[in-house]
Amino acid sequence: MTEKSGDNSRCGMLSALLIACGLAVTVFAEPAPPSWSPTSIFAPVSTPAQSILDLSVFVLTVTGAIFVVVFSLLAYAVVKFRKRGADSGEPAQVYGSTQVELAWTVIPILIVVILFLATARVIASIQNAVHPGNAMEVTVIGHQFWWEYRYPALKVVTANELHIPVGEPIILTLLSADTDHSFWVPRLGGKTDLIPNHPNSMWMDPRETGLYLGQCAQYCGTQHAKMLLRVIVQTREEFDRWIQEQSRPTEVGDNVSEGQKIFERTACVNCHAVAGTAAKGRYGPDLTHLMSRTTIASGAAPNTLENLRRWMQDPSVIKPGSKMPAMGLSNPELNALTAYLGTLR
Amino acid sequence: MSTESIASPIPDVEPRPLVDQLHQWVTTVDHKRLGILYIVYALVFLVIGGLEATIMRIQLMRPHNDFVSPEVFNRMFTMHGTTMIFFVAMPLVFGFGNYLIPLMIGARDMAFPRLNAFSFWMTAFGGLLLYFSFLGGDGLYGAGNAPDVGWFAYAPLTSQTFSRGHSTDFWILSLLVSGFGSVGTAINIIATILCMRCPGMTLGRMPLLAWLNLTMAGLVILAVSPLTAAQVMLLIDRYLGAHFFDTQAGGSAVIWMHFFWIFGHPEVYVLVIPAFAFASEIIPVFSRKPIFGYPVMVAATLCIGFIGMSVWAHHMFTVGMGAGANTFFVLSTMAIAVPTGIKIFNWLATMWGGQIHFKTPMLFCTGFLFQFLIAGLTGVMLSVAPFNWQLSGSYFVVAHFHYVIVGAILFTTFGAFYYWFPKMSGRMYSEALGKLHFWLFIIGFHLTFDFMHIPGILGMPRRIYTYEPGRGWDLWNLIVTIGVFFQAAGVLVFAGNLVWSYLRGEFAGSDPWDAWTLEWSTTSPPPSYNFAVIPKVKSRRPLWDLKHPEDPDWHYE
């Protein structure tokens, strides 16, 4: 029985080692290609995310080495000192040793000092970074359950899809309109919380164009799960063109004026704004250039006319717990509204 | 000390009617019965909390699953966390502490038996209050039933604005009430250990379990008090119009985080230090050697207790503290790794050169050593603030703290169950079923919690009821869910083993493990007065001295 249990533990240790190796391989793998996971912390594309990764790899190396040493000692003890049938009597009674205790106190202290110094340097390099005076600022406001983006210098307000130019430092001011949220796009940087009454900020300088995904990382209520982040990094020219389009007032054709009237006489205007019209609500996303966005409901569904119509009919079908109520509109009203929203480019 | 006279059989008495027996359990002030009540109570809630976890894991098995609604999922993770910490882990810690401390220090009961009973019933009714919310939480608004604000209930989600109905009130009241119970038991443990030790048992001769529980009890008093204060403030916010945490009226959400985590982090040590205590008793006995470096182990424990009070804000690296504050909490958190490492090395050194008997308790303690090593190292990673900015609030953190709470605390607690079950029931458990439990549970544990780290580093936040496909999270989540069923099977085998052994197990005798501490010198189960004659001790291993008069420990200490 004793013999058998010894073998069992050895198998256990071996399988545990295999699992650990599996983990280690995953962890030490080269920056994951976006096709594998678009949100991996191991594929940074901005300075803060890169310096976090460099520090992380150092920490993983040190902790990995400690694991290998201590695990080997444990495995050796389990195999070597398990009771065998022939053993009789008690083993030598050893009570301790000052030299050994000193050794395994001093060595860990040295390791901690090294890790601490490396960490303190990276904290300072990210949190105390000095930005050029002309760095672009964007105000991010967390809402239950969507993101509002304001470009104060450019007088643009948009929602849920953040556009920024490539290769420039961007400073995000983080505010919250209601509960706590957290802005986390792993490939662009670590997360920072958006806390009401407690303005925060973070920065990033993406070095590659593309779409970067993330989502709210601090529990904020029923639909915390579908508060998705989409950051679109563009060349300076593309970004300037986007800003121009966003700054233009919308033009409404006569063929959709029916939908506009419905929009303006129902509760829609209490929460939503469309520049140049009577709609000035700020509780929900700004709809002035709704159709320039690829998703609705903070990334919960693609922005198509069918989805817009479904959304207005009953938001809880797409996003149960959303703060937008079902508007109780008739089919003709829904069609007219959908046609109107479809022109807000 | 004469074991013969103590071990004499108790005369048979006529079994009392069931009502009488139940009445005795309800009105008891005996530390052993209260200990068992705590433990049984915790086991019931372990099953409930486990079911809540299973519901979450089925929901997360694949992306866009609709097994439960977001509202139900949010209640499940709130109830799972609150239940497992306050109504499983804490009662288990107090249950074993209650049962073992007087027996191990040669006392006849705790210092304040009636406070002991009061504390248990406060904890018990706290748990009932929490679960009554399923019925009463709707309140007048028809809004919500069970609490859904998360187990650390960040402001302002708990304000009247965002949490209508009474679910949050039940959460507050249940933690307030059970908090009083926890402080009562902590005072009791401190008084018992300081004042009730048998003749000859100096502080330096106490079993390590007593030292560790003394530290734990001190931490409970320091940590639970701020939590209680915060709950009172929150209640005043909700009903008397105060604005401590009401951000819409100028209150501070960050102050709640500080209050919660100055409780929340020491709480981790409140739970893990008793787990260390079990390991420190079980590993020497099954290695057949005294604990290596007893004074260093005591010092390391006190060190963890002291430093543990100054690390709380490492839960808050992402809330926008300045570089200075972040750097301080990096240093204090990393510093904890030193005494914790010392403990691991001392347990290893205890096994080194021994003759390790791999009975079920020792298997669980070996699993604990392996898992606690990994949990400690992922803890070091999380203490690196910049790394933490990526990992915090992700599934990596969830995996890390389950490695501590399940991989370390629950594993040693299972070990403790098997080790002291013969003492508590007078019967031996089934070794075969015990080993089956161990293997099922360790396989399930590693399937679930090893693979849970990976979606975290791939950007999956915690507390989401569903997730998008195409993020590289699907496979890992499926494996994690599969592991849950192995763990559940392990717990079923465990429960079956307990029941079967209690009814049919072989008689254990007073000292089935050939152990060295005082609880093994009295009968199994011990009589209500514990010891017929209060023992006298001359060393840390009184029963070793008795069994080896030619080579007693007090020659060397």
The pLDDT tens digits of the residues spanning B291-343 come to 999 999 999 999 999 999 999 999 999 999 999 999 999 999 999 999 999 99
Measured distance CA(B420)–CA(B285) in Å, rounded: 12
Domains and CATH numbers, chain A: 2-82+96-127 (1.10.287), 136-247 (2.60.40.420), 254-341 (2.60.40.420)
| CB atoms closer than 10 angstroms to residue A241 | 12
- Tens of pLDDT, residue by residue over A270-297, are 999 998 888 999 999 999 999 999 999 9
* Residues B226-254, mean pLDDT to the nearest whole number: 95
Measured distance CA(A270)–CA(A279) in Å, rounded: 7
- Tens of pLDDT, residue by residue over B270-289, are 999 999 999 999 999 999 99
* Contact list, A143 vs chain B (CB under 8 Å): none
Question: Which of these, B87, B74, B71, B160, lies nearest to B123 by C-alpha position?
Answer: B87
Beta bridge partner(s), residue A296: A301
Beta bridge partner(s), residue A163: A232
Cα A271 from chain centroid? 26
User: What confidence category does residue B142 fall into, taking pLDDT thresholds of 50, 70 and 90?
Assistant: low
Is the Cβ–Cβ distance between A196 and A177 less than 8 Å? yes
DSSP for B220-285, please give it.
HHHHHHHHHHHHHHHHHHHHH---SS-GGGT--HHHHHHHHHHHHHHHHHHHHHHHHHHHHHHHHH
B341:A104 CB<8 A:
yes
Measured distance CA(B232)–CA(B153) in Å, rounded: 14
User: Would you state the structure tokens that stand for residue B488, as one six-digit string?
Assistant: 């559940």
Measured distance CA(B214)–CA(B101) in Å, rounded: 10
The more confident residue out of A84 and B127 is B127
B464:A189 CB<8 A:
no
A101:B326 CB<8 A:
no
A112:B334 CB<8 A:
yes
Q: Residues near A240 by Cβ (< 8 Å), separated by ≥ 6? A: none
Is the Cβ–Cβ distance between B379 and B396 less than 8 Å? no
Using CB atoms, pick whichever of A40, A92, A222 lies closest to residue B70: A222
* Contact list, B453 vs chain A (CB under 8 Å): 23
Beta bridge partner(s), residue A202: A172
| Interchain contact A222–B (C-beta under 8 A) | yes
H-helix segments, chain A: 2-28, 47-80, 98-127, 236-247, 257-265, 268-271, 305-313, 315-318, 331-341
Chain A (41-60) residues lying within 8 Å, Cβ to Cβ, of chain B: 41-42, 49, 51-52, 55-56, 59-60
User: Would you state the structure tokens that stand for residue A137, as one six-digit string?
Assistant: 């600022």
Measured distance CA(A279)–CA(A252) in Å, rounded: 14
DSSP for B433-493, please give it.
HHHHHHHHHHHHHHHHHHHTHHHHHTT-BSS-S---TTSS-HHHHHHHHHHHHHHHHHHHH
A39:B458 CB<8 A:
yes
Distance from CA of B421 to the nearest CA of A (A): 21
Q: What's the distance, Cα to Cα, between the start and end of chain B in Å?
A: 20
The more confident residue out of A144 and B137 is A144
Which chain B residue's Cα is nearest to A224?
A: B464
Q: In this model, does residue B141 exceed pLDDT 80?
A: no
* Contact list, B387 vs chain A (CB under 8 Å): 52, 55-56, 59
Q: In this model, does residue B113 exceed pLDDT 60?
A: yes
Is the Cβ–Cβ distance between B437 and B497 less than 8 Å? yes
Domains and CATH numbers, chain B: 28-555 (1.20.210.10)
How many residues make up chain B in this entry?
A: 557
Is the Cβ–Cβ distance between B292 and B346 less than 8 Å? yes
DSSP for A10-29, please give it.
HHHHHHHHHHHHHHHHHHHS
* Residues B67-71, mean pLDDT to the nearest whole number: 94
Q: Which amino acid is at A100?
A: V
Q: Residue B120: enclosing H or E segment and its boundaries?
A: helix B113-136
User: What confidence category does residue B139 fall into, taking pLDDT thresholds of 50, 70 and 90?
Assistant: low
- Tens of pLDDT, residue by residue over B411-438, are 999 999 999 999 999 999 999 999 999 9
Which chain A residue's Cα is nearest to B389?
A: A190
User: What confidence category does residue A3 fall into, taking pLDDT thresholds of 50, 70 and 90?
Assistant: very low
- Tens of pLDDT, residue by residue over B463-516, are 999 999 999 999 999 999 999 999 999 999 999 999 999 999 999 999 999 999
Which chain B residue's Cα is nearest to A87?
A: B355
Tell me the angle at which helices B411-425 and B474-504 cross, rounded to the nearest 10 degrees.
10
Using CB atoms, pick whichever of A13, A37, A219 lies closest to residue B471: A37
Instruction: Give the angle subtended at the CA of B107 by the CAs of B106 and B109, to the nearest 5°.
Output: 145
* Contact list, B461 vs chain A (CB under 8 Å): 182, 184, 215-217
Which chain B residue's Cα is nearest to A119?
A: B384
Measured distance CA(A40)–CA(B77) in Å, rounded: 25
Using CB atoms, pick whichever of B69, B390, B394 lies closest to residue A52: B390
B355:A81 CB<8 A:
yes
B491 burial (CB, 10 Å; 0-12 / 13-18 / 19+) is: buried
| Interchain contact A95–B (C-beta under 8 A) | yes
When the pLDDT of each residue in chain A is averaged and rounded to a whole number, the result is 89
User: What confidence category does residue B144 fall into, taking pLDDT thresholds of 50, 70 and 90?
Assistant: low
Using CB atoms, pick whichever of A12, A108, A223 lies closest to residue B338: A108
| CB atoms closer than 10 angstroms to residue B135 | 10
Look at residue A132 in the predicted model and tell me its pLDDT. 83
Look at residue B17 in the predicted model and tell me its pLDDT. 85
Q: In this model, does residue A24 exceed pLDDT 90?
A: no
* Contact list, B373 vs chain A (CB under 8 Å): 67, 70-71, 74
Best of B377, B431, B438, B513 to substitute, by most chain A Cβ atoms within 10 angstroms, is B377
Is the Cβ–Cβ distance between B72 and B141 less than 8 Å? no
Q: In this model, does residue A17 exceed pLDDT 70?
A: no
- Tens of pLDDT, residue by residue over A46-90, are 999 999 999 999 999 999 999 999 999 999 999 999 988 766 788
Which chain B residue's Cα is nearest to A173?
A: B320
Best of A45, A72, A94 to substitute, by most chain B Cβ atoms within 10 angstroms, is A94
């709809």: which residue's tokens?
A287
Q: Phi first, then psi: give them for residue A204, nearest 5 degrees.
A: -155, 155
Whether the ω angle into residue B156 lies within 30 degrees of 0, i.e. cis, is: yes
CB pairs under 8 A between A and B: 310
B330:A78 CB<8 A:
no
Report in angstroms the alpha-carbon separations of B244 from A287, B158, B236. Answer: 36, 12, 9
